[in-house]
Amino acid sequence: MSVSTAAVGQSVCSPLPVLGRDVTVPLVTGGEVAYAALDYAASAPALQRVWDDVAAYAPYYGSVHRGAGYLSQLSTDLFENARRTVAEFLDCRTGDQVVFTRSTTDSLNLLAAALPDGCEVFVFETEHHASLLPWGSARGTRLTCLDAPSSPRQAVETLERALAGRDPRGPALVCVTGASNVTGELWPVRELAAAAHAHGARIVLDAAQLAPHHPVSLRDLDVDWVAFSGHKLYAPFGSGVLAGRADWLRQAEPYLAGGGASRKVTRRADGGVDVEWHDGAARHEAGSPNVIGAYAIASACRALTEAGFEALLAHEERLIRTVRDGLADVPQVRFLSLFGDDAPRVGVLSFVVEGWNSSHFAAALSAEYGIGVRDGLFCAHPLVRTLLGGDPQAQGECGAPEAAPGEKSLNAIRVSFGAGTPDEHVERFVRAVRELVRDGARWSYRTVDGRCVPNPSARA
């Protein structure tokens, strides 16, 4: 039996319909307005297609892999078909494995736990914490954090110099993002992979921000692994993916010990137990898997593929131009960039506004205009501090409007969008930024529990 899926509609303003298009939110100045969700880089809204597919499957939900019942067998089939769909979406090679995880963070921690003893790990300071932090606690690894590059070419040259100084006889791993979660800029993944392999290292791609916007091919990019999250790929049901080479994963101890990962368990005479673990993806998927999460990711992969990335990219590039052109004559607005304003990027733009604390500005966008953006350090503290001229070694708290003494300006505003963003939301954002810069906020704000929020009944 097959589960029916909904047809995907197309429109000029929004190539792929998402949930929340009709949600209205109250304004502190009175009335309500349609909510403009411009925080896709944190979590993208669910595609209508994904929601419909999950709703169609939900009555047939059952346990997977070991159930004799019809619903169990159907769920198992859907789960394994989802694995094959993801493999096709990523253009996996023969022998690659697709492991379902909870998120990009979980995927990279799984890979960190599978590293061979003595592995050297190379990562740029520009990475999201999900791809910056797991390696330091991995068993027997040596971590080298590389300075932020000022161009794609410098990124490759920096990596080549670092790899040239290592002992080529030992294992090594390079971790790099595909698109920055702060600047949106595309990284030279193919060139970095070539540099890694030339020096006997492997490479893992953090595609959390890349996969929702661009095709990702393990074969074409020649990366060893790729990790991404469902909730950024329009499938917010708590699942992620680690896909790529099987050997290190097969040789590692299971990420979690438990049912599903074990093939055979026997009790020893001394009271202990002996375990024979699975060799495939199940080795690192212990416990009852998130079937709905995996099915949702597969649905999103199909929807993006059917819509065509060429059309999605054209839509997104138009929105980027709307923001850049609309604020080009506002000198108080400064966009953050490593590679320059003209560098290719996905729909992620971060900026600061002269004379404003970024959290205050973001709060005003939300309370007075119904626009949701992100403010803070975006779980990329070293990068944001580097871009803002602060100390990349200093500590901070994501999203906190009150920075440490001497760091009052060390937070930024991020606007991000994607396949489901209507033109009107971005146009309203541009108008709101211009008005706030010109006229100031119409309401007064205070800090409550570490957040900047409107004062009750207190106009500016």
For strands 172-177 and 202-206, give the pairing. parallel
Q: What is the pLDDT of residue 66?
A: 80
| For residues 279-284, average pLDDT | 91
Q: Measured between alpha carbons, how far is 458 from 209 in angstroms, rounded to an integer?
A: 39
Whether 175 is catalytic: no
Q: What is the pLDDT of residue 448?
A: 86
Judged by DSSP in three states, 308 sits in coil
Q: What is the pLDDT of residue 456?
A: 86
Q: How far is CA 36 from CA 367, 369, 459, in A?
A: 12, 9, 23
Q: Measured between alpha carbons, how far is 330 from 334 in angstroms, rounded to an integer?
A: 9
Q: Measured between alpha carbons, how far is 368 from 231 in angstroms, rounded to an integer?
A: 27
Q: Provide the whole-model pTM.
A: 0.92
Residue 47 DSSP class = B
Q: What is the pLDDT of residue 409?
A: 54
Q: What is the pLDDT of residue 460?
A: 60
Query: In the predicted model, is pLDDT for residue 8 greater than 80?
Result: no
Q: Provide φ and ψ at 171, rounded to 5°.
A: -70, 150
Q: What is the pLDDT of residue 443?
A: 94
Judged by DSSP in three states, 85 sits in helix
- CA 416 to the chain's CA centroid: 12
Question: What are the DSSP E strand ranges found in 211-367?
Answer: 225-229, 240-244, 262-267, 273-277, 333-335, 348-353
Binned at pLDDT 50, 70 and 90, residue 399 comes out as very low
Query: Which of 92, 301, 379, 452 does the annotation list as catalytic?
Result: 379
| For residues 43-60, average pLDDT | 97
| For residues 270-275, average pLDDT | 92
Query: In the predicted model, is pLDDT for residue 143 greater than 50?
Result: yes
Tokens of 94: 């023969």
Give the tens place of pLDDT for each residue, 160-202. Answer: 999 998 988 899 999 999 999 999 999 999 999 999 999 999 9
What is the per-residue DSSP string for 114-155? TPPTT-EEEEETTS-HHHHSGGGGSTT-EEEEEPPPSSHHHH
Q: What is the pLDDT of residue 12?
A: 39
Q: What is the pLDDT of residue 140?
A: 79
| For residues 128-157, average pLDDT | 91
